[in-house]
Amino acid sequence: MSPWWIVCRKELRETLRDRRTLLMMIVVPVLLYPVLLIVSEQLLLFGMRQLEADPAAVAVMGTAPPELLDLIRESESIRLVEFAGEPEAAIRSNSVSAVAIVGASGGPEDTRDVTLLFDATSDRSQRGHRALSNVIGNWGDALLAQRLESEGLPTSFATPVAMADSSIARPEEVGGYTLGRLLPLLLVVMTLLGTFYPAIDLAAGEKERGTLETLLTAPVPPRAIVAGKFVTVAIIGVVVAGLNLGSMILIFQTGMLQFAGAVGLEVSIPIASIGIIFLTLVPLAVLFGAIFLGLAVRSTSFKEAQNALTPVSMLVVIPAMLPIFPGIEFGPLLAITPVAGVSFFFRDLMTGDAGFFTGALVLGSTAAYAAAALVFAVRAFGDERILFGGAEQPVPQDAPSWIERIRLRGRGAGVPRPDQALAFVVFVALLYFYGGFQLQIRLGMGGLLAAEWTLLLLPAVLFVWLGGFDVRETLSLRRPNHRALAGAVLLIAGATPAAWLIGWLQSHVIPIPWEFLEGLEELVTAESLPKLAWLLLVLAVTPAICEETVFRGVLLGGTRSMEPWRVVLLNGIIFGVFHLSFETVIQFLPTASLGIVIAWAVWRTGSIWVGMIMHLLNNATIVVLASSPGLRESFSNPEAPPPLWLLPFAAIALFTGFRLMNALPTRSET
C-alpha cells in the first residue's frame, strides 16, 4: 500500500470520527440547510396568506364621490373603515393601512388630486396601499371612459399605443437565471467550508497535538504525507459540495419550493449541467484544500490557523460574489480568474448558456492554480523552519520595548519589524480613510493637500522618531547615483504606459464608472498656468513626498527582512489597496503595478529619492496631459488603448531601466 494512501485512509477515518467535520459535511447540507430553506419559505407563504386572508383596512378623506366608495366596498382585498384623529397617527397605530385624501372636483374635465398615505416600512400598509391604488386606478379608468363616451370618442382614443411585455425566456430559463445569481456563491462557500476545518485540523491541529513530529519520524517522504492529507481534504470538500448540490437538486427538481411556483418560476437546474457542475467542484475543492493546507501548516495551533485562514476565506468569497452583480460580462479573462471563473461558469451552466471554450478555460486554470497551491503546501511540509520553527526559537533578549524605544529615540535602534510597519500602514490608511475624505469633502483640493501632509507624512515621521528607529535606514535616505536616477526615469517612462495598458485591458472585464472618471478628469485638468502649478503641487509633488514616505519609506524599510519578491509584491498590493475608492476598483491594478515597479526600484537602490522622482514624474505626466488641450483629446479616452507607437518605446524603457538598476551594487555591497 502506498504511503500516501495509508495516510489518507487514516485521515479519513479520523475525520469521520470528528463531530465538527461531520456536522459541516452531512448535517448542514443534508438536513439543516434544506430544512431552513423550506421552513423560511413556509413562513413567508404563511405570512403572505395571512395578509391576503385579512382585507386591508383603508380610509378615504376629503370629497370622495359615492362611486369611488362603492368600488372600495366591492373590493375583496380592502375594507373601508372610519378612524378618529390624524391619518398619519392612524396608519402608525395600525388602525388603517392606507388613507386616500381625495381633492375637490373642479369640473367634469378637471383632474382630481388624490394623495395616498401609507407607511413604506410596513408590509401591511404597503399591501393596503397597493390595493387602494388599484381601486383608485380603476375609478380613474371608469371616469375616463365616461368622458370619452360623452364626447363620442372610442376608448382607444386615450390609448394611442398599447404596449405588452413578452419575454422570450421560458419559465425554466428564468428560474435558471434566478438560481444562477445565488447558487454559485452558495456552492463555492459550502465547498470552501467543507475544506476549511479538515485542512486546519490535518495541518495546524496535528502540529498543536504534537503528532506531526511523530509522523515525520516514519520512513515516509513529506510529499507522501502532504498527498495523503491533501487528498483527504479534497475528498471531504468534494463530498460536502456534492451533498450540497444534491440537496439543492432535491429541493428544486422535486418542486419542494412552493414559493417559486406561486410566482410563476420554474426553478430547476438542467440535468446535463449537474454533472458538469459537480466536475467543476472537484478542482475547486482541490484548490481550496491545497491553499488551506499550505497556509494552515504555517500556524502553530488550530486557533492560530483559524485566525489566519478566515481573512483568506473572505477574500476567496469576493470573486465568488461577482455573478450577483449586473453588467459584468463573463469572458476569457474572468474565466481564468481564480474562483470568479468557477462561479460564473456555474451561473452559465444553470441558465444553460455555458460555452465549451470558457468551460475548458475555467477547468484548466482552476486545475493549474490547484497544482500551484499543492506545490506551496508540499514546500511547507518539507520546510523544518515552518514545521518546528516556533518550537525552540530563542526570544531575542535585546529587543527594546516600545517604551524603551521612545526613551532611546534619536539613537537609531534599527528598523521596524514587518508587523510594526504593517500595523502602522493600516493605522494611517484608516486615519486617511476617515479623516482624509472628510477633509477633501469640506475643503476640496486644499483638503487633499492637508490630508497628505498631516495624515500621511506627519504620522510617518512621528512613527520613526518616537519609535526610536534609525531614520536613514528606515526611510532609505540614500543619495542615488546618476545611473540610479537614469534607471528611475526610464522605468517610470515604461511603467506609466504599461499601467495605462493594464487599465485598458481590465476595462474589458470591469465596467468603467463614467461619472467617477469625469470627476477625476475635472480634478486633474488645469485651464491656466497658476492652476497647473497648484495641481502639480497637490497631485504630483505632495503624493511623491508623503505617500512615498509611508509606502516606500516605513513599509518597505520595515519589510526589508522578508524575501525581496514578497517585499515588492506586498508593497505594490498595499499601495493599490490604498488607492481604492468607494465608486470603483478600476484603479487597483494600474496603481498596484506602478507601486510594484517603484518599490522594486527603491528596494534595489536603497534610495527613497528614486521612488519620489518616479511617483512625481508619473503623476505630473497625467496632470500635464490632462491640461494640454492638444494632448487631452488623444489621451483622455479611457476606453481607447494606449497608442501602439508608445508601447515599443515603453517596453524598451522598462527593459533598459531594469538593466541599468540591476547592474547597480546591492545595499550590502555598497
Partner 1 sequence: MIRLHDITKAYGPLKAVDRLSLSVEAGEVYALLGPNGAGKTTALRCLATLLTPDGGSAAICGVDVTHDPLGARRRLAFLAASMGLYERLTAREMIGYFGMLQGLDARVLEARLDELIELFGIGDFAGRLCGRLSTGQRQRVSLARALVHDPPVLILDEPTLGLDVLSGQTIYDFIRRERERGKAILFSTHQMDEVDLLADRVGVLGKGRLVAEGSPAELVASRGAPTLARAFLDLVTESQA
Confirm if 283 and 345 have CB atoms less than 8 A apart: no
What's the grid cell of residue 458?
A: 506627519
Q: Nearer to partner 1 by C-beta: 78 or 380?
A: 380
Binds partner 1 (CB under 8 A): choice among 31, 43, 218, 562: 218
Closest CB 603 distance from partner 1, rounded Å: 22
Closest CB 384 distance from partner 1, rounded Å: 5
Cα 539 to Cα 212, 441, 544, 550, 608, distances in angstroms: 54, 16, 8, 16, 18
Binds partner 1 (CB under 8 A): choice among 81, 215, 324, 429: 215
Closest CB 396 distance from partner 1, rounded Å: 8
239 binds partner 1 (CB under 8 A): no
213 binds partner 1 (CB under 8 A): yes
Q: Nearer to partner 1 by C-beta: 384 or 669?
A: 384
108 binds partner 1 (CB under 8 A): no
Contacts to partner 1 from residues 16-55, by CB under 8 A: 17-18
How, if at all, do strands 56-62 and 78-80 pair?
parallel
1 binds partner 1 (CB under 8 A): yes
Size of the site for partner 1 (CB under 8 A): 29
User: For the CA atoms of the chain, what is the radius of gyration?
Assistant: 33
Query: Considering only CA atoms, which of 499, 508, 536 is closest in space to residue 626?
Result: 536
Scanning 97-105, 203-211, 343-351, 528-536 for contacts with partner 1 by CB under 8 A, the matching segment is 203-211
The DSSP call for residue 455 is I
Binds partner 1 (CB under 8 A): choice among 26, 30, 48, 220: 220
C-beta pairs of 516-525 under 8 Å, 24+ apart in sequence: 516/581, 516/583, 516/584, 517/638, 521/626, 521/636, 523/445, 524/622, 524/623, 524/626, 524/627, 525/626, 525/627, 525/632
CA distance 527 to 326: 38
Confirm if 594 and 499 have CB atoms less than 8 A apart: yes
Confirm if 524 and 622 have CB atoms less than 8 A apart: yes
CA distance 538 to 532: 10
Query: Considering only CA atoms, which of 384, 207, 224, 217 is closest in space to residue 296?
Result: 207
Scanning 212-220, 281-289, 486-494, 535-543 for contacts with partner 1 by CB under 8 A, the matching segment is 212-220
Scanning 93-101, 165-173, 392-400, 596-604 for contacts with partner 1 by CB under 8 A, the matching segment is 392-400
Binds partner 1 (CB under 8 A): choice among 103, 221, 255, 355: 221
413 binds partner 1 (CB under 8 A): no
CB within 8 Å of 343: residues ≥ 6 apart: 184, 185, 188, 319, 320, 321, 322, 323
Burial of 18 (0-12, 13-18, 19+ CB in 10 A): middle
Closest CB 230 distance from partner 1, rounded Å: 17
CA distance 15 to 11: 6
Q: Nearer to partner 1 by C-beta: 85 or 219?
A: 219
Q: Nearer to partner 1 by C-beta: 74 or 213?
A: 213
394 binds partner 1 (CB under 8 A): yes
Alpha helices in 352-389 (DSSP H): 356-381, 384-388
Binds partner 1 (CB under 8 A): choice among 159, 211, 581, 670: 211
Q: Nearer to partner 1 by C-beta: 12 or 148?
A: 12
Q: How many CA atoms lie within 13 A of 75 on its CB side?
A: 27
Closest CB 520 distance from partner 1, rounded Å: 48
214 binds partner 1 (CB under 8 A): yes
561 binds partner 1 (CB under 8 A): no
What SS3 class is residue 314? Answer: helix
216 binds partner 1 (CB under 8 A): yes
Q: Nearer to partner 1 by C-beta: 401 or 561?
A: 561
659 binds partner 1 (CB under 8 A): no
Q: Nearer to partner 1 by C-beta: 189 or 216?
A: 216
What's the grid cell of residue 662?
A: 540591476
What SS3 class is residue 84? Answer: coil
3 binds partner 1 (CB under 8 A): yes
Query: Considering only CA atoms, which of 567, 549, 562 is closest in space to residue 471?
Result: 549
Binding mask 347-386 for partner 1 (x = CB under 8 A): -------------------------------------x--
CA distance 54 to 77: 8
Which residue ranges make up the site for partner 1 (CB under 8 A)? Answer: 1, 3, 6-7, 10, 13-14, 17-18, 209-221, 384, 387-388, 391-394
